[in-house]
Amino acid sequence: MITKFLKSLEDPNRPLIGPNYWILRKMGLILPENKLGKALYIFLHGFASFFVLTQYMELFAIKSSLDLVLTNLKISMLSIVCIVKANTFVFWQGKWRELFDYVCKADKYERDSKDPVKARIVDSYTKYCRRVVHFYWILICMTVVTVVNTPLLMYLSSSNYRKALHNGTELFPHIFSSWVPFDKYNPPGSWIMILYHTVMCIYGGGIMAAYDTSVMVIMVFIGGKMDLLRVRCKQIFGTNDLGVDDKQAEANIRELHDIYVLLMKNSQLFNSLLSPVMFFYVIMCSSVLCFSAFQLTSANDATQKLLMAEYLVFGITQLFLFCWHSNDVLVKSGNVTFGPYESEWWTAGLRQRRNILLLAGQLRRVHMFTAGPFTNLTLLTFITILRGAYSYYTLLK
């Protein structure tokens, strides 16, 4: 059943990003053409933004409890990043559509190639994208289920907590900590809050599943294009030790130049869309991981420890996947320069060698994705954030 559902998400017009495009449309990040649907999705994004605001408003009511404050900050910081993802995607709708159009066209161009080496690369990054998407969707589902059922698990796992709740010494537990203009600890307000928070949690999980996996797939695709460029550079003078004539060599170099320029243009466009969001994420990530680790080690109940551990694993995995795929693009963009030197350049004439040197100079540019103007998305950044989170954790302890 699950396999059949996943196959139904495939789109022959978008063979690489079919599942991603489907969830982007379902979550309203790619707005529908009809006015009613567009208005409903815009209202949903606006309502979710208001919900995040109420989470910060609630801090004033719970400021006397360190555990409640840390729980609120841990979730609200992640919530604001989620809202930034949704709102920037909708606001920059036209640029995202332009980027997806390029990815689809460039991917189809590579799939039409009859070269078995290129076909293996295309098949490899397509399968890898599907594995990443499915793994991340499962991780999101597990996290959403865990967060939604946290109050219920606390209630079922502790008899003392149940007694305290029944005699009134403990307040009705909520999924999130947010302000509302009615009594949220007694019926019917408590049940309204359960529904309200559940919807907001599913919305947030859907936004992260749609946005994050789309970003990762585009990173993988750009890395795949770098590998394909290297292969094209190897084949620029043929593969039979006989070389090619000047006309064919110039045509091959011109094709490489056009592909590379278009790739760099869209890669920069992608970075301009991603960098501001990653700036917010990197700033808040250390604090979120620190709060999760602190609550994990300070929790007395085994169920609470399990819930905190799952949340911590999700945060670390999310950060790692961004940094890993960005670092992969950085490495592959540096490896492209080896392509011309791996070609059969010794069969080329003087004019062809001059052209290949110009191309090699152009390919020397190393590309990386950034998180705002201060840092790059690399594995070094991942390690630095973990170190920062550990430093904050030791300070709290």
Which of left, alpha, beta for 115 (phi over 0: left; psi -120 to 50: alpha)?
beta
What integer is the mean pLDDT of 129-154? 88
Instruction: Give the gyration radius of the chain's Cα atoms.
Output: 25
Instruction: Name the more confident of 274 and 367.
Output: 274
Which of 286, 328, 293 has its CA nearest to residue 128?
328
Residue 91 is encoded by which pair of tokens? 């606001």
For residue 73, tell me if it sits in a domain.
no
Q: Residue 63 in contact with residue 73, Cβ under 8 Å?
A: no
pLDDT 10s digits, 369-396:
998 888 889 999 999 888 888 787 787 7
For residue 54, tell me if it sits in a domain.
no
pLDDT 10s digits, 169-213:
777 788 888 888 888 888 888 889 989 999 999 999 999 999 999
For residue 212, tell me if it sits in a domain.
yes
For residue 46, tell me if it sits in a domain.
no
pLDDT at 303: 66
pTM of the model: 0.92
pLDDT at 302: 67
Q: Is the pLDDT of residue 311 over 80?
A: no
pLDDT 10s digits, 135-146:
999 999 988 988
Q: What's the total number of domains in the chain?
A: 1
- Please tell me the distance from the alpha carbon of residue 26 to that of residue 5, in angstroms, as a whole number: 15
Residue 178 class from Cβ within 10 Å (0-12 exposed, 13-18 middle, 19+ buried)?
Answer: buried
- Please tell me the distance from the alpha carbon of residue 237 to that of residue 343, in angstroms, as a whole number: 7
For residue 227, tell me if it sits in a domain.
yes
- Please tell me the distance from the alpha carbon of residue 112 to that of residue 119, in angstroms, as a whole number: 9
For residue 181, tell me if it sits in a domain.
no
Q: Residue 318 in contact with residue 204, Cβ under 8 Å?
A: no
- SS3 category, 375: strand
Which of 339, 329, 321, 356 has its CA nearest to residue 268?
329
For residue 121, tell me if it sits in a domain.
yes
pLDDT at 280: 85
- Please tell me the distance from the alpha carbon of residue 147 to that of residue 138, in angstroms, as a whole number: 14
Q: Residue 229 in contact with residue 259, Cβ under 8 Å?
A: yes
Q: Residue 216 in contact with residue 132, Cβ under 8 Å?
A: yes
- Residues whose CB falls within 8 Å of the CB of residue 341, separated by 6 or more in sequence, listed in order: 360
Residue 234 is encoded by which pair of tokens? 């190897």
Q: Which residues span the domain enclosing 141?
A: 2-29+89-157+208-396
For residue 49, tell me if it sits in a domain.
no
